[in-house]
Amino acid sequence: MIKQTFESEIGESYVKAVLPSGLQIFILEKPQYSSSYAIFGTKYGSIDTAFSVNGEKVCVPEGIAHFLEHKLFESEDGDAFTKYAETGGYANAFTSFDRTCYLFSCSDRFYDNLAILLNFVQSPYFTEQTVKKEQGIIGQEIRMYDDSPSWRVMFNMLLAMYREHPVRIDIAGTEESIAKIDAALLYKCYETFYNPSNMFICIAGNIDTDKALKQIESAIRPCECAELERITANEPDTVCSGYTEQSLEVAIPMFCFGYKETVEKPERTLKEKVCTSLLLEVLAGDASPLYARLVKEGLINDEFDSEYFTGYGYSSVIFSGESSDPKRVAAEISAEVERLKTEGIDKKLFSAVRRRMYGDAVRRFNNVEGIAMQMVDCAMSDCGLFDEIKYIKSVTSDDVYRRLSLLDNEKTVLSVINPKENGK
């Protein structure tokens, strides 16, 4: 085991260990806290539908990563949730575009809960009968999200923005795609992506690092490493359509307005992410002139938000919220982008935004769940837990200004969910 300790200027420290299998482990002790949080995750998400294993190209149905997450809680000797109920731990899991994570939180019996996590994530059990049953359950989930305005406004935008990249498809897949999943495919994906070399464990809270490392090391099962290569979609720079709309049960129109970024390399650096986050605060954060103007004119409410939406092979800037006039909001954002390109970044506003972002980054270390989730980001992007704070302190307004180039008003998509008229 390779073990390193990292310290920061804010008085926090953590341990990163790498087992011979390649499994990464991050642990940050919070002895003064009563709770602990642990995540066992894999770099495997909904976009991983085409890949190569030991030179063999494999294509799988959309939604299989999410399907696998559901099935992994089951085993021959019972359901993992039942075991957590006996220890008093709260358990959950999620699948996103690029990762799948299994987690628990507890205030007692941490090592018993950790044993459950280590066991069920490494114990796949799939049969044709249980797979068929799950197809019906996930089919209902897909139909439920089809009627969710907040879900549809986002994925309608992605469908209009991306032509080839699988980020355009719902994380759960479609009813047609999940019908193609069988036990053999689940085992194939499990053996490929649930290899320790592709996985990570992140822990924060009132625990003993050495005791946790010893328990993990003894529980990780030997596994032969495979040569895994993700196959990137050939995504064009242009969007499919600049506008898309749908009518659902909402009181006021909802919108997502996105800028598609040209992807020259599969992944963005942490510095690029920090600079873009700062840019969004300067451009449309609640201290910005644009935000004040939109609120004053009644065009947005406190649901308005922005994010840098990025992962392997895709990247975009997204503004979302509710508005009686989404097209006007989109036009105002576009105009503000062009104004900043011409006039530059207000240095006083930039300094204020950067100070607030630094404070927010420091405060996240007061929450064990937030710490564990940050560790997951570190495992996914191969960066340090304190690197974000370092970049926030060091980036300049010129660095942020240069990120404006990714906002091309010729590559935008506005997705709108309108209220149904007369119940139709």
Catalytic residues: 69
Beta bridge partners, 254, equal: 322, 417
Q: Are 361 and 274 in contact (CB under 8 A)?
A: no
* Helix and strand numbers, DSSP H then E, in the chain: 15, 17
Q: In sequence order, which residues have a C-beta less than 8 Å from that of residue 253 and are 6 or more positions away?
A: 322, 323, 324, 325, 326, 416, 417, 418, 419
Picking from 146, 117, 422, 388, the residue whose alpha carbon sits closest to that of residue 273 is 388
CA distance 302 to 2: 47
Instruction: Round to the nearest angstrom and report the end-to-end CA distance of the chain.
Output: 62
3-state DSSP percent of the chain in helix, strand and coil, to 5: 45, 25, 35
Picking from 40, 28, 371, 3, the residue whose alpha carbon sits closest to that of residue 209 is 28
Other Cβ atoms within 10 Å of 416 Cβ, number: 21
Question: Residue 366, class by beta-carbon neighbours within 10 Å (0-12 exposed, 13-18 middle, 19+ buried)?
Answer: exposed
Spacing of C-alpha 178 from chain mean position: 22
Encoded amino acid at 173, one letter = G
CA distance 255 to 301: 12
CA distance 303 to 322: 6
- Extended strands (E) in 155-274: 199-205, 228-230, 243-248, 254-260
Q: Are 131 and 186 in contact (CB under 8 A)?
A: yes
And the tokens for 85? 């109920």
And the tokens for 77? 């000797």
- Extended strands (E) in 267-380: 305-311, 314-322
Q: In sequence order, which residues have a C-beta less than 8 Å from that of residue 305 and are 6 or more positions away?
A: 319, 320, 321
Picking from 388, 420, 162, the residue whose alpha carbon sits closest to that of residue 272 is 388
